[in-house]
Amino acid sequence: MGETISLTTSDGHTLDAYKASPSGAVKGALVVVQEIFGINGQIRRTVDYFAEQGYETIAPALFDRVEKGIELGYNETDFGIGRETRGKITDEWITADIGAAVKEVASAGKVSVIGFCFGGYATYIAACTVDGVSAAMPFYGGGIAAKVGELKPKCPVQFHFGDKDAAIPLDDLQKIKDALQDSPLYVYDDSGHGFTCDDRDSYNEGAAKRAFGRALSWMDEHAS
């Protein structure tokens, strides 16, 4: 239901983005931020899902800064490519690229940002540095705990993590809770890293439904 478009950032970079529009009434807008696997089929389906919920939705291709058109699966080879590519992405690029996506959909109303894995980290960066973001929902974003002491959100933030996420220590979740006491932080039982991704072995359907329901309520409260 969506289409690939082109965005231009404040620093002159051109990147692709996958965008989908609601078929009915528009509640607002949403930026979906990718995992380390690029704008693949799962991210496109996520964009389509939120468009079906009434949000003008867009996913900017943050890896275009390194190489255009990266679209990966979940095998070990692709994991390695994704990790290597993510390691080259700076916070400044994240701010500029998500900022361009926010501007693209802002005419639809207040803009929220949701992201997964690397995109969860990028969502937190956006909540702190991108103008025009009304609500943010990071999902299992590694590295956030290291940032909460230096970067504070400019909008309401709702966090989602799994209790069996080997990539994110529970101590990190406590650091986030201590630093951002007004931000809800949900931990899902029997859920590992990537628990909302239905293409991964870690997918937990019940946890994903609960988490997306909470994210939609958060947007309804703060950005519609």
pLDDT per residue as tens digits for the range 44-86: 999 999 999 999 999 999 999 999 999 999 999 999 999 999 9
Predicted local distance difference test score (pLDDT) of residue 198: 93
Per-position b or e across 197-212, b if 16+ CB within 10 A of its CB = beebebbbeebbeebb
Pairing of strands 3-8, 14-20: antiparallel
Closest CA to 224 of 11, 13, 26, 28: 28
Model pLDDT, residue 40: 97
Please tell me the distance from the alpha carbon of residue 6 to that of residue 101, in angstroms, as a whole number: 10
Question: Would you say residue 180 has pLDDT above 80?
Answer: yes
Rounded distance, CA 37 to CA 33, Å? 11
Residue 1 pLDDT exceeds 80: no
Q: Which is it for strands 55-60 and 14-20: parallel, antiparallel or unpaired?
A: antiparallel
Taken as a whole, the chain contains a residue count of 224
165: closest CA among 203, 194, 136, 132? Answer: 194
Instruction: Say if residues 185 and 177 touch (Cβ distance below 8 Å).
Output: yes
Which pLDDT band holds residue 124 (cuts at 50, 70, 90)? very high
Check pLDDT > 90 for residue 8: yes
Structure tokens at 224: 């519609």
pLDDT score for 47? 98
Query: What distance in Å separates the CA atoms of residue 127 and residue 132, rounded to the nearest whole number?
Result: 9
Q: Which of 156, 133, 108, 121 is nearest to 34 (CA)?
A: 121
CA distance 175 to 82: 27
Res. 157: pLDDT tops 80: yes
3-222 fold = Rossmann fold (3.40.50)
Say what the pLDDT of residue 10 is.
Answer: 96
pLDDT (average), residues 20-33: 96
Average pLDDT over the chain, rounded to an integer: 97
Give per-residue pLDDT as tens, 187-208.
999 999 999 999 999 999 999 9
- Report the C-alpha gap between 86 and 122 in whole angstroms: 11
pLDDT of residue 163: 96
pLDDT at 224: 80
Task: Return the percentage of the chain with pLDDT > 90, whole number.
Answer: 98
Specify whether the CB–CB gap between 61 and 89 falls below 8 A: no
Question: If you average pLDDT over residues 135-153, what whole number do you get?
Answer: 97
Say whether 62 sits in a helix, a strand or coil: helix
